[in-house]
């Protein structure tokens, strides 16, 4: 998962989005409007600043009265007609249209459309990970489709029947980058586990094949709930096999490529990717990095948790194999002179090496922390950390302090060496490197 550091420029935040969209798959266009609930959470506010990509704004109103707005580049600035006092809210309606160049992929010959992060390319929003909000999303498609979106399908009884209009409601606040939808002429299989309704969608596979591909999803949910110390946070979870290259977590569903799904039919042990994306429902969607500079708190956790799932499912040797893959990729980056602290000063233009740092180096660091603390204290710390910060945004300091409180161990030297100071790693890594 990639993203850009985007911060709100005004005091007003947005706590709820109510969007009604017209998605035309054949034309590759989106039109509609969104009602924003803006909140002067900290101080008085006189404007709201949103990220709006290439979206064309048609009108902005408050109480049906037009208000002044400007669109400069990707930023939309809405001037409030009166100062919004601290603790008060305002409802702002923005009408718009867009032919997305990114953020939404239209596969017209397959009759599919699905989002690929960059929410601000199809919905004006505050596109920053610490800006969590709820969502009410209604979409009218230009053709009957099976569709899934962020949150619970209000018409759950017809989830397996193609229709043109859908509505989903996200009841827990989440970052806008995990808002999304997917639609197409899908085959549908369903299941349930621990009160969670499971849906599996695909176009080039049969219903029986979908059940085979995702046969371990229920066990994965129970495993991650155990490790998190908190249950799966929603009532539904859907996995979609879409046309094209895609691997993305969304609130309450995951997008994976059709080719990956078919590969699982021949190699059932290749579950790492679906485990990684499911783990994000806790670590990423639930416990979220406070800024993109702390991105490792999302991606290293999901990477490590997928490794831990493979340990549970296929044994210790498989876990150590996955850890060794992360270590090897990190070593190549380090040896090329591109090592970096896990917390970045700027994540504006991440390179492939930067992604290796936050995914693979981060996962390897979590493995080393597990080795240092021992299994029982480590997993107790992970549970305490996850429970404390579920549905909140976190920093690396929050994580360190949570682990120290839980285990009673001073981890300042470990975090200084492995998280903050790559130079120390280069000096010490060679003589102390583990070969599990």
Domains belonging to the chain, first-starting first, are 1-178 (2.60.40.1730), 287-432 (1.10.390.10)
> What does residue 391 show for φ and ψ, rounded to 5 degrees?
70, 20
Which residues, other chains included, contact 222 with Cβ-Cβ below 8 Å and sequence gap of 6+?
193, 194
Compute the distance between CA of residue 209 and CA of residue 166 in angstroms, rounded to an integer: 26
Express as a percent the part of the chain with pLDDT over 70: 93
Average pLDDT of the segment spanning 93-101:
97
Residue-wise pLDDT tens digits, 297-310? 999 999 999 999 99
Average pLDDT of the segment spanning 216-221:
97
Global pTM value: 0.91
**Dihedral in degrees, nearest 10, Cα atoms 358, 364, 368, 369:** 40
Residue-wise pLDDT tens digits, 349-372? 999 999 999 999 999 999 999 999
- Report whether pLDDT(240) > 90: yes
The tokens describing 251, both together, are 């609130």
- Of 48, 41, 47, the residue nearest 83 (C-alpha): 47
Q: Where are the alpha helices (DSSP H) in 128-238?
A: 207-213, 217-228
Q: How far is CA 160 from CA 141, 143, 186, in A?
A: 16, 15, 9
Compute the distance between CA of residue 214 and CA of residue 200 in angstroms, rounded to an integer: 7
CA max distance for the chain: 69
- Report whether pLDDT(431) > 70: no
Judge contact between 162 and 120, C-beta under 8 A: no
Compute the distance between CA of residue 374 and CA of residue 369 in angstroms, rounded to an integer: 8
Average pLDDT of the segment spanning 284-291:
97
Would you state the pLDDT for residue 422? 64
Task: Give the lowest-confidence range in 30-34, 75-79, 418-422.
Answer: 418-422
Residue-wise pLDDT tens digits, 154-213? 875 555 678 999 999 999 999 999 999 999 999 999 999 989 999 999 999 999 999 999
What is the 3 state secondary structure string of 337-405? CCCCCCCCCCCCCCCHHHHHHHHHHHHHHHHHHHHHHCHHHHHHHHHHHHHHHCCEEECHHHHHHHHHH
Judge contact between 246 and 256, C-beta under 8 A: yes
Which residues, other chains included, contact 117 with Cβ-Cβ below 8 Å and sequence gap of 6+?
1, 2, 3, 103, 177, 180, 248
- Of 367, 375, 366, 383, the residue nearest 226 (C-alpha): 383
């Amino acid at each position: 998962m990639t993203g850009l550091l985007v911060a709100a420029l005004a005091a007003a935040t947005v706590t709820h989005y109510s969007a009604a969209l017209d998605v035309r798959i054949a034309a590759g266009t989106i039109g509609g409007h969104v009602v924003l609930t803006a909140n002067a959470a900290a101080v008085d506010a006189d404007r709201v600043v949103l990220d709006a990509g290439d979206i064309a704004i048609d009108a902005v109103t408050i109480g049906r009265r037009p208000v002044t707005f400007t669109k400069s580049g990707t930023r939309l600035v809405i001037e409030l007609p009166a100062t919004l006092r601290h603790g008060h809210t305002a409802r702002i309606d923005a009408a718009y249209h867009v032919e997305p160049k990114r953020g939404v992929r239209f596969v017209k010959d397959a009759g599919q459309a699905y989002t690929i992060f960059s929410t601000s390319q199809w919905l004006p929003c505050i596109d920053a990970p610490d800006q969590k909000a709820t969502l009410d999303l209604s979409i009218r498609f230009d053709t009957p489709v099976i569709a899934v979106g962020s949150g619970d399908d209000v018409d759950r009884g017809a989830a397996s029947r193609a229709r043109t209009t859908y509505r989903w409601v996200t009841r827990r606040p989440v970052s806008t980058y995990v808002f999304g939808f997917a639609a197409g002429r899908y085959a549908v299989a369903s299941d349930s586990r621990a009160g969670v309704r499971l849906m599996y969608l695909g176009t080039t596979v049969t219903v029986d094949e979908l059940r085979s591909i995702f046969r371990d999803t229920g066990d994965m949910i129970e495993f991650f709930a155990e490790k998190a110390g908190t249950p799966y946070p929603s009532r539904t979870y859907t996995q979609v096999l879409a046309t094209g290259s895609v691997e993305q977590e969304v609130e309450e569903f995951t997008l994976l490529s059709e080719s990956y799904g078919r590969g699982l039919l021949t190699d059932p042990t290749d579950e790492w990717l679906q485990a990684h994306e499911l783990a994000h429902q806790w670590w990423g969607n639930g416990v979220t990095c406070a800024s993109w500079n702390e991105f490792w708190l999302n991606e290293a956790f999901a990477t490590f948790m997928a490794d831990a799932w493979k340990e549970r499912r296929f044994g210790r040797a498989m876990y150590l194999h996955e850890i060794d893959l992360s270590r090897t990729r990190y070593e190549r980056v380090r040896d090329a002179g591109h090592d970096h602290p896990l917390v970045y000063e700027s994540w504006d233009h991440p390179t492939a090496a930067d992604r290796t740092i936050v995914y693979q180096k981060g996962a390897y660091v979590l493995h080393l922390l597990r080795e240092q603390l021992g299994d029982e204290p480590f997993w107790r710390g992970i549970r305490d950390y996850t429970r404390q910060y579920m549905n909140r945004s976190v920093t690396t300091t929050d994580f360190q302090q949570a682990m120290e409180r839980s285990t009673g161990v001073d981890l300042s030297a470990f975090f200084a060496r492995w998280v903050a100071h790559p130079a120390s790693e280069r000096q010490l890594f060679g003589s102390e490197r583990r070969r599990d």
